[in-house]
Amino acid sequence: MTQAPLHPLDQAVQLEPAGEHRYRGHTSQAYWNMIGPFGGATAAVMLQAALDHPERLGDPSALTVNFAGPIAEGAFEVVARPARTNRSTQHWHLELLQNGEITTTGSAVFAVRRDTWNCGEAVMPAVPAADSLPRMAGFAPVKWLGSYDMRAVRGAKPDAAAGTENPDSLTQFWLRDAPARTPDYTSIAAWCDAFYPRIFLKRAGFVPAGTVSLTTYFHADAATLAALGDRHVLGSAQARVFRQGFFDQTAEIWSPDGELLATSHQIVYYKE
């Protein structure tokens, strides 16, 4: 009897218990950025610790991850401690440590979803179907891009002449894991950081930049995510302001049927 190998994402977020509220994990080459892990993988593994915790109540509603310091290749520990558990919500304190030093802080809110009056006020952008678009080529030094199947709709690459300013910083692409994997909260947490820094697009060139703080709101229940199977989702991201070394980004993740699965916001450091 053989067992199918774990999907690279499931490998990347695999944790083993290491004491009360503590878990041991390891960085993943499949989700490696240039000099550290892809931030989305870090967000995902911190959420995973709360998902795995025996006292977990409900499903993720909000996740904040603050990238405080570099993470080196190798082992790490995640602390996931329920700070307060109510009847239908649960608040988590999260930390990632390497060699006893805090590299990443965070918090999460889990909640029990209920049937209510619902309304999708925002409308999914009208875009060509994923199948009609070619898969984007990766960029060899950035390994984690190979773990995604991305189909560019617009703003996918800062490909104008360097130094030319673009009128907007809007990127839209269809996205799914590669190899394909049915989405869950873990993969959504990672997807929300899958947009390269908006300043690359705005300025049509590369400058040092990195996410400082990332907050994701999960709007879909587990059954909705499971029903997506291996279809692509539409990702969209844009900045509002670049000022004094920091810019913001708001991202949306849409199901192909037009349901808003997640919204995510981040503040990003840049040097220029």
Residues contributing to the site for a copy of itself (CB under 8 A): 61-62, 64, 66, 68-69, 83-84, 86, 89, 91, 93, 95, 101-103, 105-107, 109, 111, 113-122, 165, 168-169, 202-203, 212-213, 215, 217, 219-221, 238-246, 248, 250, 252, 260, 263, 265, 267, 269-272
The pairing of strands 171-177 and 148-154 is: antiparallel
Give the integer Cα–Cα distance in Å for 32 and 114: 37
Give whichever of 12 and 63 is closer to a copy of itself, judged by the CB atom.
Answer: 63
Give whichever of 119 and 140 is closer to a copy of itself, judged by the CB atom.
Answer: 119
Give whichever of 111 and 227 is closer to a copy of itself, judged by the CB atom.
Answer: 111
Backbone phi, psi, residue 46, to 5°: -70, -40
Q: To the nearest whole angstrom, how small is the minimum distance from the Cβ of residue 82 to a copy of itself? A: 10
Give the integer Cα–Cα distance in Å for 257 and 255: 5
Pick from 239, 269, 272, 267: which is nearest to 168 by CA?
A: 239
Give whichever of 6 and 72 is closer to a copy of itself, judged by the CB atom.
Answer: 72
Q: To the nearest whole angstrom, how small is the minimum distance from the Cβ of residue 222 to a copy of itself? A: 11
Given the structure tokens 């300043």, which residue do they identify?
199
Give the integer Cα–Cα distance in Å for 139 and 64: 28
Given the structure tokens 């190899």, which residue do they identify?
179
Give the integer Cα–Cα distance in Å for 12 and 44: 9
Both ends of the chain: CA-CA distance in Å?
A: 56
The tokens describing 139, both together, are: 């960029």
Q: To the nearest whole angstrom, how small is the minimum distance from the Cβ of residue 67 to a copy of itself? A: 9
Q: To the nearest whole angstrom, how small is the minimum distance from the Cβ of residue 122 to a copy of itself? A: 4
Give whichever of 156 and 267 is closer to a copy of itself, judged by the CB atom.
Answer: 267
Q: To the nearest whole angstrom, how small is the minimum distance from the Cβ of residue 218 to a copy of itself? A: 9
Q: To the nearest whole angstrom, how small is the minimum distance from the Cβ of residue 171 to a copy of itself? A: 13
Give whichever of 177 and 252 is closer to a copy of itself, judged by the CB atom.
Answer: 252
Q: Do 73 and 106 contact (CB within 8 A), yes or no? A: no
